[in-house]
Amino acid sequence: MSVPFDAIGQETLHAVIDRFYEYVKADERINHLFPDDLSETARKQKQFLTQFLGGPSLYTDEHGHPMLRMRHLPFQITPSARDAWLENMNIALNDFVIDKALKDYIFERLTLTATHMINTEENCR
């Protein structure tokens, strides 16, 4: 496969991320994990996913090593929160015309990363 970032393109990647955060903002399962103003979060996500998918190292250049798990420790990331995050990302990816093999590859990598972010078990009630 060619470089995923080159295959999806910056414009489409940014559009997917913007759409994703529209869904997140409306999703009561996870919107409490995010700030009310998602513009900075979306900007950083665009930088990170550009790098994550083989594009320029925008995130590292501005913020240093991503250290994703450490950066997410202040938030309670449960398996359900991971699933909601992935569901919203999958819907956003499907809103755009993206080659199926590329979409599957991106989603598979995001699934592995999102699973790594889990730091809290579900509440037992």
Q: Which DSSP state fits 96?
A: S
Neighbours of 103 (CB within 10 A): 18
**Confidence at residue 33, expressed as pLDDT on a 0 to 100 scale:** 93
pLDDT digits (tens, 9 = 90+) for 16-47: 999 999 999 999 999 999 999 999 999 999 99
On the question of pLDDT at 124 being above 90, the answer is no
CA quadruple 107, 113, 42, 100: dihedral, nearest 10: -10
Does the pTM surpass 0.85? The reply is yes
Rounded CA-CA distance 117/81 in Å is 10
**Spelled out in words, what is the top-level CATH class assigned to the domain 9-117?**
mainly alpha
**Confidence at residue 99, expressed as pLDDT on a 0 to 100 scale:** 96
